[in-house]
């Protein structure tokens, strides 16, 4: 059984069909890339999966359970976490606190326990911290030396890393990355590629939206191509690179074909 | 000497508490003590509003409503039901919190300015109810002869006793809020303020947290209301108009929000300014307004806004915690 099974999802904004009967699946341990020109509906699909903007029709089953209609925090609790195309870190909070929020729903401390502070509150905080440091250490020396710095002071690339760390800390089964390499230089991009592989090896499945072809081709097990809200192709990287409809829609049509 | 370490680490806090405990040794004037008591009441109110406006980022502009509910509940409980003050205080907090829940549950579906208008509307409606429900609230005449607070049979009547009582309430408020904010609950609230969509997507149940914050804020305001009723001994709807809500907002704007220091400073400053400039008579409100405007021009986030203040001396912390705080390069073992 597929970990994520999306069937016939349709989403309209007014008269605009952002997604039209899109189906796709993702198996446990897979890295699937979602590509397509701007406005193809990639981020809309992410929003439909996570419940941010529920689809008009269609179903999304995660681990066999229907998740359409559930609010985003419940989807996250079931094991899908995500990052955003436009970075959304908690600017005034420190790097460590940002990541600790990712562990929030695993916590048990409520208002009364917070006031009375039985020993388990301290243990929970320590456990949370330990998990966060462990996840932050995946990024080498990028984030660990900046634990107490407010997130808004971080560089662009580091804020992206922080978002990924926040999404990873609760141990999701599936992580959705929305353009993780946007605004990064080639060296940093390569690090993200390694990171995505590492995330996969740690047992998280990955669905990634990406524009940089080099990244897509090296990292994905499978590629899904969207154009104008419809799925136009799906397959392993080599097949996608050779697919004429994809080249037509995405890679620049005739000119590219002539250049080859 | 190990047991001394936590005490040493908190020595700045203890020092501040000691100063406030010692204040009546130097301030013996009854009028001055009364001003200090009012600062205490408003400090609790501003802190409670700060939970919503400062931490969660909800803009509530009708907070005096919960203050009123606390005051009337406490007065009714002690006069009609003859309950001891301590129970009335708890009752005031609980009833105000309950109303907070009733308001929060439907209005938090509204976003931004609409929720803000709902809080304003609640404040206005409550004022009209207090004004017109003659049989229960005695309308515009208000409730008179509210008994002074008594704790286990000891009646507290002097200004000095009121001072210590409100000092204890303020310290309890600050202490409890500090505990709430320094763990999961506070982190989630701040995350909601910083980016609600991201918080929700990370698994934070934003609606639940917002309702909890609303109930808590209302409860604290109710407690302040109870103290006010038994301190002034007379309450009428005029004490709880929208004006009162806006004074609280001005305190947050002046002192800064999002931490526990700003609201207290704001409350102290905006109570003190009109009192200090009393010799200017009716012109003192010019000064008051002028200072507020100047504040917005010079320092828009308020005196202490926009960051956290720690009063712990970290060099007494255990070594591992120190490593985290300095952000030293280190990888967790294992």
- In A, minimum Cα distance to B187 occurs at A101
Predicted confidence band of residue B328 (pLDDT cuts 50, 70, 90): very low
Residue A101 CA: distances (Å) to CA of A174, A237, B159:
18, 36, 45
* Length of chain A as a residue count: 260
**Burial bucket for residue A190 (CB in 10 Å: 0-12, 13-18, 19+):** middle
Q: Which of B8, B16, B10 is nearest to B264 (CA)?
A: B16
Contacts A97 to B, Cβ<8 Å: 187, 190
Interchain contact, A97 vs B187, CB within 8 Å: yes
Tell me the DSSP string of A71-112: -HHHHHHTTEEE--SS----TTSBHHHHHHHHTGGG----HH
Tell me the DSSP string of A116-145: H--HHHHHHHHHHHHHHHHHHGGGTTTTGG
Q: Which of B186, B62, B185 is nearest to B127 (CA)?
A: B62
Predicted confidence band of residue B323 (pLDDT cuts 50, 70, 90): low
Helix (H) or strand (E) holding A159: helix A156-168
Give the per-residue pLDDT at B332.
46
Q: How far is B331 from chain A (nearest CA, A)?
A: 6
Is the CB of B201 inside 8 Å of chain A's CB atoms?
yes
Average pLDDT of chain B to the nearest whole number = 88
Interchain contact, A52 vs B197, CB within 8 Å: yes
Interchain contact, A111 vs B206, CB within 8 Å: no
Interchain contact, B195 vs A88, CB within 8 Å: yes
Number of other CB atoms surrounding residue B54 within 10 Å: 27
Give the per-residue pLDDT at A250.
67
Is residue A191 within 8 Å of residue A157, measured between CB atoms?
A: no
Q: How far apart are CA B17 and CA B23, in angstroms?
A: 10
Q: How far is A46 from chain B (nearest CA, A)?
A: 11
Q: Say what percent of chain B tops pLDDT 70.
A: 92
Is the CB of B333 inside 8 Å of chain A's CB atoms?
no
Best residue in B100, B183, B193 to probe A by mutation, most A CBs within 10 Å? B183
Q: How far apart are CA A40 and CA B33, in angstroms?
A: 68
Is residue A182 within 8 Å of residue A83, measured between CB atoms?
A: no
Angle at CA of residue B197, ends B194 and B201, nearest 5°? 115
Interchain contact, B329 vs A141, CB within 8 Å: yes
Q: How far apart are CA B196 and CA B215, in angstroms?
A: 19
Interchain contact, A134 vs B179, CB within 8 Å: no
Predicted confidence band of residue B103 (pLDDT cuts 50, 70, 90): very high
Best residue in A114, A141, A177 to probe B by mutation, most B CBs within 10 Å? A114
Q: Which of B83, B62, B63 is nearest to B73 (CA)?
A: B83
Is the CB of B155 inside 8 Å of chain A's CB atoms?
no
List pLDDT tens digits, range B131-190: 999 999 998 999 999 999 988 878 888 889 999 999 999 999 999 999 999 889 999 999
SS3 B277: coil
Interchain contact, B198 vs A90, CB within 8 Å: yes
Radius of gyration of chain B (CA): 21
Is the CB of B184 inside 8 Å of chain A's CB atoms?
yes
For B180, which of A115, A145, A170 is closest by C-beta distance?
A115
Q: Which of B7, B114, B183 is nearest to A127 (CA)?
A: B183
Taking the model in full, what pTM does it have?
A: 0.90
Give the per-residue pLDDT at B171.
95
- In B, minimum Cα distance to A71 occurs at B200
Beta bridge partners of A33: A208, A223
* pLDDT (mean) for B11-39: 89
Q: Where would I find the H helices in chain B?
A: 4-9, 11-26, 30-50, 64-79, 85-107, 113-132, 134-137, 159-181, 184-194, 196-201, 206-232, 242-255, 262-276, 284-298, 319-326
For B201, which of A50, A109, A111 is closest by C-beta distance?
A50
Q: How far is A40 from chain B (nearest CA, A)?
A: 22
Is the CB of B29 inside 8 Å of chain A's CB atoms?
no
- Report long-range pairs for B268-272 (Cβ below 8 Å, ≥24 apart): B268/B39, B268/B43, B269/B303, B270/B42, B271/B35, B271/B38, B271/B39, B271/B42, B272/B35, B272/B39
For A144, which of B204, B205, B329 is closest by C-beta distance?
B329
DSSP B156: P
Q: How far is A185 from chain B (nearest CA, A)?
A: 24
Residues near A202 by beta carbon (within 8 Å), at least 6 away in sequence: none
Whether the predicted pLDDT of B106 surpasses 80: yes
Q: How far is B187 from chain A (nearest CA, A)?
A: 7
Q: Say what percent of chain B tops pLDDT 90.
A: 63
List pLDDT tens digits, range B268-302: 999 999 888 888 888 888 888 888 888 888 888 88
ipTM attached to this prediction:
0.91
Q: How far apart are CA B221 and CA B211, in angstroms?
A: 15
Q: How far is B8 from chain A (nearest CA, A)?
A: 20
CB pairs under 8 A between A and B: 124
Residues near B97 by beta carbon (within 8 Å), at least 6 away in sequence: B215, B216, B218, B219, B222
- In B, minimum Cα distance to A85 occurs at B198
**Neighbouring C-alpha atoms within 13 Å toward the C-beta of B45:** 36
Contacts B332 to A, Cβ<8 Å: 130, 133-134, 137
Give the per-residue pLDDT at B321.
56
Is the CB of B306 inside 8 Å of chain A's CB atoms?
yes
Give the per-residue pLDDT at B333.
44
Interchain contact, B329 vs A96, CB within 8 Å: no
Residue B198 CA: distances (Å) to CA of A85, A89, A102, A163, B202:
11, 7, 10, 9, 6
- In B, minimum Cα distance to A121 occurs at B183
Best residue in A92, A100, A159, A169 to probe B by mutation, most B CBs within 10 Å? A92
Residues of chain A with pLDDT under 70: 250-260
Is the CB of B205 inside 8 Å of chain A's CB atoms?
yes
């Amino acid at each position: 059984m597929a970990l994520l099974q999306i069937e016939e999802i349709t989403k309209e904004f007014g008269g605009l069909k952002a997604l039209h009967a899109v189906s796709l699946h993702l198996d446990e341990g897979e890295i699937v890339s979602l590509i397509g020109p701007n406005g193809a509906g990639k981020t809309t699909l992410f929003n439909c999966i996570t419940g941010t903007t529920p689809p008009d029709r269609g179903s999304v089953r995660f681990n066999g359970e229907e998740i359409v209609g559930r609010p985003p925090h419940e989807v996250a609790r079931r094991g899908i976490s995500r990052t955003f195309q436009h970075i959304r870190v908690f600017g005034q909070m420190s790097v460590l606190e940002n990541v600790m929020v990712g562990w929030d729903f695993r916590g048990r401390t409520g208002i009364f326990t917070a006031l009375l502070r039985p020993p388990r509150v301290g243990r929970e905080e320590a456990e949370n911290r330990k998990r966060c440091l462990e996840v932050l250490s995946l990024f080498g020396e990028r984030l660990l030396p900046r634990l107490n710095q407010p997130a808004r002071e971080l560089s662009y690339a580091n804020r992206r890393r922080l978002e990924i760390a926040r999404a990873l800390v609760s141990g999701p089964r599936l992580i959705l990355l929305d353009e993780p390499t946007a605004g990064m230089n080639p060296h940093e991009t390569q690090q993200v590629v390694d990171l995505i592989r590492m995330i996969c090896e740690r047992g998280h499945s990955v669905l990634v939206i990406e524009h940089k072809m080099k990244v897509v081709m090296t990292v994905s097990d499978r590629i899904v191509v969207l154009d104008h809200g419809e799925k136009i192709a799906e397959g392993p990287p080599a097949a996608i690179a050779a697919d004429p409809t994809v080249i037509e829609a995405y890679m620049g049509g005739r000119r590219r074909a002539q250049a080859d | 000497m190990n047991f001394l370490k936590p005490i040493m680490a908190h020595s700045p806090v203890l020092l501040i508490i000691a100063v406030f405990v010692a204040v009546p040794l130097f301030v013996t004037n009854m009028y001055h003590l009364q001003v200090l008591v009012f600062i205490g009441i408003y400090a609790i109110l501003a802190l409670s509003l700060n939970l919503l406006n400062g931490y969660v980022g909800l803009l509530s502009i009708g907070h005096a409503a919960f203050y009123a509910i606390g005051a009337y509940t406490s007065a009714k409980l002690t006069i009609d039901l003859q309950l001891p003050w301590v129970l009335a205080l708890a009752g005031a907090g609980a009833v105000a919190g309950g109303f907070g829940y009733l308001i929060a549950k439907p209005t938090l579906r509204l976003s931004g300015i609409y929720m803000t208008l709902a809080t304003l509307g609640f404040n206005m409606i409550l004022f009209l109810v207090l004004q017109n429900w003659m049989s229960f609230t005695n309308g515009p005449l208000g409730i008179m002869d509210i008994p002074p607070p008594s704790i286990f049979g000891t009646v507290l009547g002097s200004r000095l006793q009121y001072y210590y009582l409100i000092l204890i309430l303020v310290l309890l408020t600050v202490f409890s809020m500090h505990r709430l904010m320094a763990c999961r609950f506070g982190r989630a609230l701040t995350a909601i303020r910083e980016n609600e969509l991201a918080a929700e997507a990370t698994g934070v149940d934003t609606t639940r947290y917002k309702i909890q914050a609303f109930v808590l804020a209302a409860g604290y305001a109710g407690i302040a209301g109870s103290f006010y009723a038994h301190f002034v001994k007379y309450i009428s709807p005029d004490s709880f108009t929208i004006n009162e809500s806006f004074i609280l907002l001005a305190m947050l704007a002046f002192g800064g929000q999002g931490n526990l220091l700003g609201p207290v400073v704001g409350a102290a400053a905006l109570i003190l300014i009109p009192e200090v400039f009393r010799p200017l008579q009716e012109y003192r409100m010019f000064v008051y307004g002028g200072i507020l405007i100047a504040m917005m021009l010079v320092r828009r986030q308020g005196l202490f806004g926009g960051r956290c203040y720690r009063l712990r001396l970290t060099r007494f912390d255990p070594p591992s915690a120190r490593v985290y705080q300095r952000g030293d390069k280190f990888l967790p073992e294992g």
